[in-house]
């Protein structure tokens, strides 16, 4: 490709709206442009990379035995009403009507559509197992799109769906997809961790795993044990519940005054109490009722875990006047005593020998409170957020926290959608059974941004060869110098003929502009044709290391041809 003809609008300045490296660099390198908030155009350079990533995803899906389809982006609302998800989503699900005023949605995902297809076409166990996938635009009306294509409203996803006769079959499909995802991320040159994850509203009965690209700008947090293979999204991660010595006989609980205490911090700094032995009671609205969650003062309630434990659809903190109405006091002295609502107690609280708790009266607390003696509860479980430094629940190692970008998520769906839509088949005995499903997503456009996050330096992007928009960047320093121009043109012709993807900077620009642009767009190899072209010599420069070798044009051509055939 000749840069003098190429629609490649690089930017010298960092656009002010771009906060993270991949957003800044994808704009500056002329890969993307924003149409409106959260909606992007891929320019030629960006689209070449997107298609390379798609190709890797396709190859791995096909290798795993999945079959590619293309489902409609526009979906009838009726399917979402049938699956029961029509009510589950708010404004994030873009709804509209067609000319006959039939309600439609712009697809954020395709469980309903693919299950509808299968319920029409699959009748017999002989047609299973089957994995179908597509690479297609999704639309999710995020309230605050940011970080460029990392969190866009319209994005490219590969979504796959597996159909099996039973759970053992699903386990096999799930493993096949899991391995295919590992290959995709390895081939894209990414450092990643696979973590146990909460399946969220999708309702994966059999759990789910997320593929996290490690990065400081990642919006997700993961807890990883360096000693064993334990790794989990913070929403789901557990640590070993603390064990305490037996307290022996604890004196009866005793009332004491805590004037003005409104927080755990106050109780600690003004009354010398240890947060680890304070019982923190938080009142939540859970679907149509109120619940009191009880955790240690130094712990945080994990609302994803609370929601899962209570099998609830909605969980949100009650405001102070509701708390006052329900308990007789405001924040700071809510206690587990005499509550009319359901109490959910964290395992670490149930294990406490004794603690301090609010008295449900302003400025009143009790000490020597023994869980189970001085108050009871309806439910108990792990409802707190685990933290780095705590002991691994599997092996006792010390957990470490990382930030990650979720680029893939695989779910064991079970029969949630096949039940709702009656996707059934006759088994060998002629009995009617419900198809068992899995679903598997990769954010393809997000993957491009994740690769930039892990592969850049202060000069620009440094593409891994597997996804680089071109293999070699031929740069004649001075296009007006006849010798440099003809040498570069000859190299360009030779390499292109041999199938190497070459970008030729044939612009009449100052050397500095050319070198800065080359470093910015990050083609792995730069072949610089300068003064020594008269001696038949060129500079071969590796973008990643900056290392430069002087080669004859023939050697350079040989080496460049090898790169093209390599990946």
Chain positions contacting ligand 9G3, by CB under 6 A = 89, 92-93, 108-109, 111, 140, 159, 202, 409, 439-441
CA of 249: how far to CAs of 103, 359, 368, 370, in Å?
66, 22, 10, 10
Euclidean distance between CA atoms 557 and 551, whole angstroms: 10
Provide, rounded to whole angstroms, the least separation between the CB of residue 419 and ligand 9G3: 16
Q: Which is nearer to ligand 9G3, 334 or 405 (CB)?
A: 405
Q: Which is nearer to ligand 9G3, 105 or 399 (CB)?
A: 105
Q: Which is nearer to ligand 9G3, 108 or 353 (CB)?
A: 108
Q: Which is nearer to ligand 9G3, 115 or 487 (CB)?
A: 115
Euclidean distance between CA atoms 305 and 270, whole angstroms: 32
Provide, rounded to whole angstroms, the least separation between the CB of residue 202 and ligand 9G3: 4
Euclidean distance between CA atoms 93 and 90, whole angstroms: 6
Provide, rounded to whole angstroms, the least separation between the CB of residue 91 and ligand 9G3: 8
Local structure of residue 384 (DSSP, 8 states): B
* Contact present, 70 and 136 (Cβ < 8 Å): yes
The residue whose Cβ lies closest to ligand 9G3 is: 441
Task: Look at residues 492, 470, 474, 476 and name the one whose alpha carbon lies nearest to residue 564.
Answer: 470
Provide, rounded to whole angstroms, the least separation between the CB of residue 61 and ligand 9G3: 13
* Contact present, 125 and 425 (Cβ < 8 Å): yes
Q: Which is nearer to ligand 9G3, 218 or 371 (CB)?
A: 218
- Tracing tokens 């059974």 back to the chain, one arrives at 433
- Displacement of CA 331 from its chain's centroid (Å): 35
Helix (H) or strand (E) holding 45: helix 44-63
Provide, rounded to whole angstroms, the least separation between the CB of residue 65 and ligand 9G3: 18
- Displacement of CA 431 from its chain's centroid (Å): 40
Local structure of residue 226 (DSSP, 8 states): S
Which DSSP string do the residues of 465-529 spell out, in sequence order? TTT-S-SEEEEES-TTSHHHHHHHHHHHHHHHHTT--EEE------HHHHHHHHHHHT-SEEEEE
Q: Which is nearer to ligand 9G3, 196 or 333 (CB)?
A: 196
Q: Which is nearer to ligand 9G3, 280 or 409 (CB)?
A: 409
Euclidean distance between CA atoms 565 and 556, whole angstroms: 15
Euclidean distance between CA atoms 354 and 368, whole angstroms: 5
Provide, rounded to whole angstroms, the least separation between the CB of residue 108 and ligand 9G3: 4
Q: Which is nearer to ligand 9G3, 142 or 400 (CB)?
A: 142
Q: Which is nearer to ligand 9G3, 409 or 543 (CB)?
A: 409
Q: Which is nearer to ligand 9G3, 159 or 382 (CB)?
A: 159
Provide, rounded to whole angstroms, the least separation between the CB of residue 405 and ligand 9G3: 15
Q: Beta partners for 364?
A: 257
Provide, rounded to whole angstroms, the least separation between the CB of residue 213 and ligand 9G3: 16
Q: Which is nearer to ligand 9G3, 182 or 490 (CB)?
A: 182
Q: Which is nearer to ligand 9G3, 175 or 263 (CB)?
A: 175
Provide, rounded to whole angstroms, the least separation between the CB of residue 305 and ligand 9G3: 18
C-alpha torsion sign, points 17, 21, 27, 29: positive
C-alpha torsion sign, points 319, 321, 323, 329: positive
Provide, rounded to whole angstroms, the least separation between the CB of residue 93 and ligand 9G3: 4
* Contact present, 476 and 532 (Cβ < 8 Å): no
Provide, rounded to whole angstroms, the least separation between the CB of residue 557 and ligand 9G3: 44
Helix (H) or strand (E) holding 380: strand 379-381
Task: Look at residues 470, 528, 526 and name the one whose alpha carbon lies nearest to residue 502.
Answer: 470
* Contact present, 213 and 168 (Cβ < 8 Å): no
Q: Which is nearer to ligand 9G3, 65 or 200 (CB)?
A: 200
Task: Look at residues 390, 444, 369, 361 and name the one whose alpha carbon lies nearest to residue 150.
Answer: 444
Provide, rounded to whole angstroms, the least separation between the CB of residue 450 and ligand 9G3: 16
Q: Which is nearer to ligand 9G3, 410 or 488 (CB)?
A: 410
Provide, rounded to whole angstroms, the least separation between the CB of residue 88 and ligand 9G3: 7
Provide, rounded to whole angstroms, the least separation between the CB of residue 355 and ligand 9G3: 39
Contacts (Cβ under 8 Å, ≥6 apart) of 248: none
CA of 279: how far to CAs of 241, 243, 258, 298, in Å?
16, 16, 15, 9
Task: Look at residues 497, 35, 551, 516 and name the one whose alpha carbon lies nearest to residue 505.
Answer: 516
């Amino acid at each position: 490709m000749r840069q003098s003809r190429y629609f490649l609008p690089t930017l010298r300045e960092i656009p002010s709206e771009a906060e993270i490296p991949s957003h800044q660099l994808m704009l500056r390198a002329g890969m993307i442009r924003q149409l409106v908030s959260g909606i992007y155009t891929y320019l030629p350079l960006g689209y070449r990379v997107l298609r390379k990533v798609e190709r890797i995803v396709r190859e791995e899906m096909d290798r795993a035995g999945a079959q590619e389809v293309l489902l409609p982006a526009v979906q009838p609302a009726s399917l979402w009403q049938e699956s029961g998800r029509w009510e589950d989503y708010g404004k994030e699900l873009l709804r509209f009507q067609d000319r006959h005023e039939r309600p439609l949605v712009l697809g954020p995902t395709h469980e309903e559509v693919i299950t509808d297809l299968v319920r029409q076409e699959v009748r017999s166990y002989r047609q299973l197992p089957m994995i179908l996938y597509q690479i297609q635009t999704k639309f999710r009306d995020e309230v605050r799109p940011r970080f460029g294509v990392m969190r866009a409203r319209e994005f490219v996803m590969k979504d796959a769906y597996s159909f099996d006769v039973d759970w053992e079959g699903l386990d096999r499909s799930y493993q096949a997809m899991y391995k295919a995802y590992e290959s995709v991320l390895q081939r894209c040159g990414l450092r990643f961790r696979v973590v146990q994850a909460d399946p969220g509203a999708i309702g994966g009965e059999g759990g789910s795993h997320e593929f996290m690209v490690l990065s400081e700008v990642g919006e997700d947090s993961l807890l990883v044990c360096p000693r064993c293979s334990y790794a989990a999204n913070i929403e789901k991660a557990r640590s070993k519940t603390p064990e305490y010595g037996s307290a022996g006989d604890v004196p009866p609980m005793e009332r004491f005054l805590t004037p003005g205490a409104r927080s755990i911090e106050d109780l600690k700094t003004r009354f010398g109490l240890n947060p680890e032995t304070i019982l923190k009671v938080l009142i939540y609205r859970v679907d149509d009722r109120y619940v009191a969650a009880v955790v240690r003062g130094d712990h945080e309630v994990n609302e994803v875990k609370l929601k899962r434990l209570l099998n609830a659809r909605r969980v949100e903190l009650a405001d102070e006047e509701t708390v006052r109405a329900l308990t007789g006091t405001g924040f700071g002295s809510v206690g587990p005593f005499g509550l009319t609502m359901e109490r959910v107690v964290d395992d670490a609280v149930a294990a406490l020998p004794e603690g301090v708790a609010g008295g449900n009266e302003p400025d009143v607390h009790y000490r020597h409170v023994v869980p189970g003696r001085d108050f009871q509860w309806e439910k108990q479980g792990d409802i707190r957020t685990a933290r780095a430094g705590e002991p691994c629940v599997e092996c006792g190692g010390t957990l470490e926290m990382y930030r990650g970008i979720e680029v893939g998520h695989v779910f064991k769906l079970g029969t949630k959608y096949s039940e709702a839509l009656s996707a059934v088949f006759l088994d060998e005995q002629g009995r009617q059974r419900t198809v068992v499903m899995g679903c598997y997503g990769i954010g393809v456009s997000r993957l491009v941004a994740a690769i930039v996050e892990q592969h850049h330096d202060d000069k620009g992007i440094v593409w891994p060869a597997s996804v680089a928009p071109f293999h070699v960047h031929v740069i004649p320093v001075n296009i007006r110098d006849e010798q440099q121009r003809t040498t570069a043109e000859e190299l360009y012709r030779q390499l292109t003929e041999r199938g190497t993807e070459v970008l030729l900077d044939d612009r009449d620009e100052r050397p500095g502009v050319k070198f800065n642009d080359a470093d910015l767009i990050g083609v792995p190899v730069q072949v610089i044709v300068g003064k020594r072209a008269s001696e038949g010599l060129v500079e071969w420069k590796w973008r990643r290391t900056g290392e430069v070798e002087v080669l004859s044009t023939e050697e350079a051509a040989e080496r460049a041809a090898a790169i093209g055939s390599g990946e």
